[in-house]
C-alpha cells in the first residue's frame, strides 16, 4: 500500500473478489429467519452428562442418537485413549471418566476399543479418586463416589442474609446457577438406584475395591492432569468449617434450605421456558426436579429444554454446545457488511438479518426477576437468540451498533429499531458498568474481589465473579459512542449518563493496556482479540491516531506480524495472562489475522507506511487461505471461557475475515 488512502487496482482486485466470495458463503449459511449462527464447539463433557442424566431419570435414548453420541466421542478421543478440555489441551481425568461412564451406560462393552482405551488411561493416571469436584458429583449421583467425600456444597448458604458477603447471589451468574443445582443435589444426596451396569462400573473403576479410606485421604487432592487453580488454605478452611456446620445443622434447616433452593430452580426453568442459562445448569435442574418428585409435572419439559443446545448431524455426531452465539455472530456480520463496499449479496444479508436481530431485543424485565437475583433485562440482547432471556452487555452493544449501522446504510427502516428501543439499549448497557469504569458481562459485579480466592471449581479459573473485561468494556463504549454520534436526539439526562459512562470506560481501557502495546483478551485468544476491541473502541470515542496508546498498539501489531503475513497466538498465553505466539513455522490463524487487520485499521492512519505494508500482507494471507467456496478452513479455536475452556466459534472464521476485507476495501 502506498502512503495514500486509495488502493491500487492490483491490490483491490483480489480483495474484492475474496470479499464477494465470502458474502456468497455467508448468504448460503444464513438461516431462513435471517440470523447467522455458528456452532460453539467445546468438548464431550455435556453429552456425557446428558447420558448420565438420562440414566438417572430413566429416559431412554433413541438408538440413532446413541450411535451419534458414540460417533462424537470417537471423533474427539485422543491418541492416548482419553478426552480433553479442548482440541489442543492434554487429556483430562474429568472428561475421560465421564466419557467412559457414558459409553458403558449406552451399552458398549468393556472390550469396545473406545471403552478399553479410556479405562487404560484412567488406570495409568492414578485412577478415579482424584477427579475434580464436579466429576465427583456426577459419579456420586450414580453411586460411584461417596457423597461424604465430595467437598461440601451446602444449600443452607442460600438462607444467608442477602447482605452477607458470601451469599451465592454475589457470584458470577453461571457459577451461581451451577452451584444452585449442585447444592440441591448435594443436599438431598441424589443417588440412582442400584443396577447391574452400575455394579459393573464400580468394579471396573475401582479394581482394588470400593474402600472408603482413599476417598477420605485424597479428599483435597485433584488430578495433576486437570488442576488449574488449586484450593488455597482459605478455601480448605472454609470447606472444613462447612463440613462441621453440616454435622451440626438440624434437619429442619436443611429442609428449609432445600425448599428455598428449589424455588430458585423453578424460577430459572420457568423464566427461560426451560432452556436455562446454560445446558450445565439445565441438566442439574432437571435432576433436581427428579430428586424432588420423579413424577414432577415439569420434569419432561426441563429435560426437553436441553435440546435447545444440541447440534446433531451425520458428519460429527451429537454435540451439546456450552453456548449459542446467534445474536453475537449476526451482530458482527451486519457490522462487517455495513463497513464494506456496496454489494447486492451483502445488502440482502443485512436486510434479512436486521429485522430478526431487532426482534431479539428484550422488551421488558423478567417478571419476578429481582426477587430471584436477576438484574433488569429490558433493552438488552443475549448471546444466543430471541428465546434466551439472559442479556449481556457486549452483545447488546454490538447489536445496537449493528442495527444503527444498518439504518445508516439504508438497509433497515427506522421502524425496525425505534428511538425508544435504542434508548432502552443504552440504559441497559450503562447498568452493567462497574465502579472501576469497566463493564461486566451479564451483570455488574456484585461481590468483593476476595471471593476470587474461594474458587471451588479446580479445573477453571476467574469464574467466581463478574470482572471488568477489556472486550466487554470496549464493545460497550464503542456502541455508546456510535449511538451518541447519531443525529437522533437523546434525552438530556440519558445523554449525560452516556457521556460519563464513555469517559470512565475509556479511562479503564487506557489503564489496562499491556506493556507490549496490546490488550490481553479474556474471552478470546489473546492480545489480537483484546487489541481489536480496544483500538476500535478508542477510535470511536475520539482518540486520534497519535494518541500514545494507539501508537503503542500499532507498533505491537506490526511487530507481531509473522513471516507468512498473518498473525497467530497460542491459547497458553491466556492461561498465564501474557503474550505467547505460535511456534515458528506454524501457519498463522485466519481469525486472529482478521482481528489484527481490524485493529491496525483502527490504530494507524492511512499514510503510515509500516501499517500499510502490514495490512497488504495480512489481506494477502486471508485471500490465500480462502477456499473457492468463499469459506476459510477450520483451525485452532480462538474463543475462551473461564481461562481453560477454549471454544471454537465456528462462524468466527467466516465473519471476521469478511469484516477485515470489508474494512480494507473501505480505504478509498
Closest CA to 148 of 120, 113, 182, 189: 189
Burial 420-437 (b: 16+ CB within 10 A, else e): ebbbbbbbbbbbbbbeeb
Domain contains 1: no
Q: Is 124 exposed, middle or buried (0-12, 13-18, 19+ CB in 10 A)?
A: exposed
Give the model confidence (pLDDT) of 642-668 as tens digits: 999 999 999 999 999 999 999 999 986
Residue 348's contacts (CB-CB under 8 Å, 6 or more residues apart) are 27
pLDDT at 212: 87
Q: Does any domain span residue 228?
A: no
Residue 2: per-residue pLDDT: 32
Return d(Cα 20, Cα 9) in angstroms, integer: 16
Cα maximum dimension of the chain: 80
- Same domain for 257 and 386, yes or no, is no
Quote the pLDDT of residue 1.
30
Residue among 160, 154, 180, 186 nearest 268 (CA): 180
The answer as to whether 3 is a domain residue is no
Q: Say if CB 419 and CB 427 are below 8 A apart.
A: no
Residue 524 phi, psi dihedral angles, 5° rounding? -155, 165
Residue where the block lists cell 451482530: 331
Residues 392 and 536 in one domain: yes
Closest to 123 in 3D by CA, of 199, 52, 204: 204
**249 and 154 share one domain:** yes
* Residue 262: other Cβ atoms inside 10 A: 20
Provide the pLDDT for residue 3: 34
Distance CA 149, CA 166 (A): 23
Contact 96, 82 (CB under 8 A): yes
Q: Which residues of the chain have pLDDT under 70?
A: 1-11, 488, 668
CA dist., res. 110 & res. 632, Å (int): 40
Position 7 scores a pLDDT of 55
- Taking CA atoms, 502 is separated from 379, 438, 473, 513, 598, in Å, by 18, 10, 9, 17, 21
User: What is d(CA 553, CA 519) in angstroms, rounded to the nearest whole number?
Assistant: 8
203 and 258 within one domain: yes
Last residue of a domain, one of 291, 320, 349: 320
* 311 and 352 co-located in one domain: no
pLDDT at position 528 is 98
Select from 254, 287, 320 the last residue of a domain: 320
Judgement on whether residues 151 and 74 belong to the same structural domain of the protein: yes
Reply yes or no: is the peptide bond before residue 340 cis, omega within 30 of 0: no
Q: Which residues pair with 83 in a beta bridge?
A: 92
Same domain, 388 and 306: no
Domain match, 303 and 363 both: no
Domain presence at residue 4: no
The total number of structural domains in the chain stands at 2
Strand extents, DSSP E, 359-483: 381-382, 391-392
For 378-424, write each residue's pLDDT tens digit: 999 999 999 999 999 999 999 999 999 999 999 999 999 999 999 99
Note whether 564 and 416 are same-domain residues.
yes
Q: Exposed, middle or buried by CB within 10 Å (0-12, 13-18, 19+), for 288?
A: buried
What CATH number has the domain bearing residue 588? 1.50.10.20
Q: Is 641 helix (H, G, I), strand (E, B) or coil?
A: strand
Cβ atoms within 10 A of the Cβ of 495, count?
Answer: 13
Is 544 domain-assigned? yes
Helix or strand run (H / E) with residue 639: strand 639-641
What pLDDT is attached to residue 668? 61
Do 138 and 275 belong together in one domain? Answer: yes
Burial of 654 (0-12, 13-18, 19+ CB in 10 A): buried
CA nearest to 412, candidates 456, 370, 463, 349: 349
Regarding whether 334 and 316 lie in a shared domain, the answer is no
| C-alpha–C-alpha distance, residues 177 and 280, integer Å | 9
Instruction: Give kind and range of the element (H or E) at residue 645.
Output: strand 645-649
Q: Match 435504542 to its residue by C-alpha cell.
A: 422
Secondary structure, 3-state, 88-127: CCCEEHHHHHHHHHHHHHCCCCCCCHHHHHHHHHHHHCCC
- 569 found inside a domain: yes
Query: What domain range is 449 assigned to?
Result: 9-41+323-665
Within a domain: 593: yes
Q: Determine whether 326 is an active site residue.
A: no
**Does 149 share its domain with 194?**
yes
Q: Tell whether 229 is covered by a domain.
A: no
The single residue of 226, 385, 394, 608 carrying the catalytic annotation is: 394
What whole-number distance in Å separates Cα of residue 91 and Cα of residue 83? 5
Residue 45: closest CA among 15, 86, 74, 16: 86
CB 429 within 8 A of CB 416: no
Last residue of a domain, one of 320, 354, 382: 320
Amino acid at each position: 500500500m502506498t502512503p495514500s488512502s486509495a488502493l491500487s487496482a492490483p491490490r483491490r482486485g483480489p480483495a474484492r473478489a475474496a470479499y464477494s466470495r465470502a458474502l456468497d458463503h455467508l448468504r448460503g449459511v444464513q438461516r431462513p429467519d435471517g440470523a447467522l449462527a455458528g456452532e460453539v464447539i467445546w468438548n464431550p463433557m455435556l453429552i456425557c452428562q446428558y447420558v448420565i442424566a438420562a440414566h438417572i431419570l430413566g429416559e431412554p435414548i433413541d438408538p440413532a442418537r446413541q450411535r451419534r453420541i458414540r460417533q462424537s466421542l470417537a471423533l474427539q478421543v485422543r491418541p492416548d485413549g482419553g478426552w480433553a478440555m479442548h482440541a489442543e489441551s492434554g487429556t483430562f481425568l474429568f472428561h475421560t471418566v465421564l466419557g467412559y461412564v457414558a459409553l458403558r451406560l449406552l451399552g458398549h462393552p468393556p472390550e469396545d476399543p473406545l471403552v478399553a482405551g479410556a479405562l487404560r488411561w484412567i488406570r495409568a493416571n492414578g485412577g478415579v479418586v482424584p477427579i475434580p469436584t464436579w466429576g465427583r458429583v456426577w459419579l456420586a449421583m450414580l453411586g460411584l463416589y461417596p457423597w461424604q467425600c465430595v467437598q461440601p456444597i451446602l444449600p443452607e448458604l442460600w438462607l444467608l442474609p442477602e447482605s452477607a458477603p458470601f451469599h451465592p447471589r454475589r457470584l458470577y451468574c453461571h457459577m451461581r446457577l451451577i452451584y444452585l443445582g449442585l447444592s440441591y443435589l448435594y443436599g438431598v444426596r441424589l443417588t440412582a438406584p442400584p443396577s447391574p451396569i452400575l455394579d459393573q462400573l464400580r468394579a471396573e473403576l475401582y479394581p482394588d475395591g470400593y474402600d472408603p479410606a482413599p476417598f477420605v485421604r485424597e479428599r483435597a487432592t485433584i488430578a495433576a492432569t486437570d488442576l488449574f487453580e488449586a484450593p488455597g488454605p482459605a478455601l480448605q478452611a472454609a470447606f472444613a468449617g462447612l463440613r462441621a456446620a453440616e454435622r451440626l445443622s438440624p434437619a429442619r434447616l436443611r429442609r428449609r434450605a432445600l425448599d428455598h433452593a428449589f424455588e430458585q430452580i423453578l424460577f430459572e426453568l420457568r423464566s427461560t421456558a426451560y432452556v436455562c442459562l446454560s445446558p450445565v445448569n439445565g441438566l442439574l435442574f432437571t435432576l433436581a426436579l427428579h430428586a424432588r418428585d420423579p413424577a414432577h409435572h415439569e420434569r419432561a419439559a426441563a429435560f426437553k429444554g436441553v435440546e435447545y443446545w444440541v447440534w446433531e448431524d451425520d458428519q460429527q455426531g451429537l454435540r451439546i454446545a456450552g453456548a449459542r452465539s446467534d445474536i453475537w455472530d449476526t451482530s458482527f456480520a451486519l457490522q462487517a457488511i455495513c463497513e464494506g463496499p456496496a454489494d447486492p449479496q451483502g445488502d440482502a444479508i443485512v436486510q434479512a438479518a436486521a429485522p430478526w436481530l431487532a426482534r431479539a431485543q428484550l422488551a421488558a424485565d423478567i417478571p419476578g426477576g429481582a426477587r430471584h437475583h436477576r438484574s433488569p433485562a429490558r433493552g438488552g440482547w443475549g448471546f444466543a437468540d430471541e428465546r434466551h432471556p439472559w442479556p449481556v452487555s457486549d452483545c447488546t452493544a454490538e447489536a445496537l451498533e449493528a442495527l444503527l449501522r444498518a439504518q445508516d446504510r439504508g438497509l433497515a427502516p427506522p421502524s425496525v429499531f425505534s428511538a425508544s428501543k435504542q434508548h432502552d439499549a443504552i440504559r441497559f448497557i450503562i447498568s452493567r458498568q462497574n465502579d472501576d469504569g469497566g463493564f461486566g458481562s451479564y451483570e455488574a459485579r456484585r461481590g468483593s474481589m476476595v471471593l476470587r480466592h474461594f474458587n471451588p471449581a479446580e479445573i477453571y479459573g476467574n469464574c467466581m465473579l463478574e470482572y471488568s473485561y477489556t472486550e466487554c468494556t470496549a464493545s460497550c463504549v464503542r456502541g455508546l459512542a456510535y449511538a451518541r454520534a447519531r443525529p437522533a436526539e437523546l434525552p438530556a439526562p440519558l445523554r449525560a449518563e452516556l457521556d460519563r459512562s464513555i469517559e470512565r470506560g475509556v479511562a479503564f481501557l487506557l489503564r489496562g493496556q499491556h506493556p507490549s502495546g496490546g490488550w490481553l483478551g479474556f474471552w478470546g485468544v489473546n492480545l489480537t482479540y483484546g487489541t481489536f476491541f480496544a483500538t476500535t473502541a478508542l477510535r470511536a470515542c475520539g482518540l486520534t491516531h497519535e494518541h500514545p496508546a494507539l501508537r503503542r498498539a500499532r507498533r505491537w501489531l506490526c511487530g507481531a506480524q509473522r513471516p507468512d503475513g498473518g498473525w497467530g497466538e497460542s491459547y497458553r498465553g491466556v492461561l498465564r495472562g501474557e503474550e505467547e505466539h505460535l511456534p515458528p513455522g506454524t501457519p498463522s490463524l485466519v481469525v486472529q489475522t482478521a482481528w489484527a487487520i481490524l485493529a491496525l485499521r483502527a490504530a494507524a492512519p492511512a499514510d503510515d507506511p509500516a501499517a500499510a505494508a502490514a495490512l497488504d500482507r495480512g489481506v494477502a494471507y486471508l485471500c490465500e487461505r480462502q477456499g473457492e467456496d468463499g469459506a476459510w478452513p477450520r483451525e485452532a479455536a480462538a474463543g475462551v471461557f473461564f481461562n481453560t475452556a477454549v471454544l471454537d466459534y465456528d462462524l468466527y472464521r467466516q465473519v471476521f475475515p469478511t469484516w477485515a476485507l470489508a474494512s480494507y476495501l473501505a480505504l478509498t
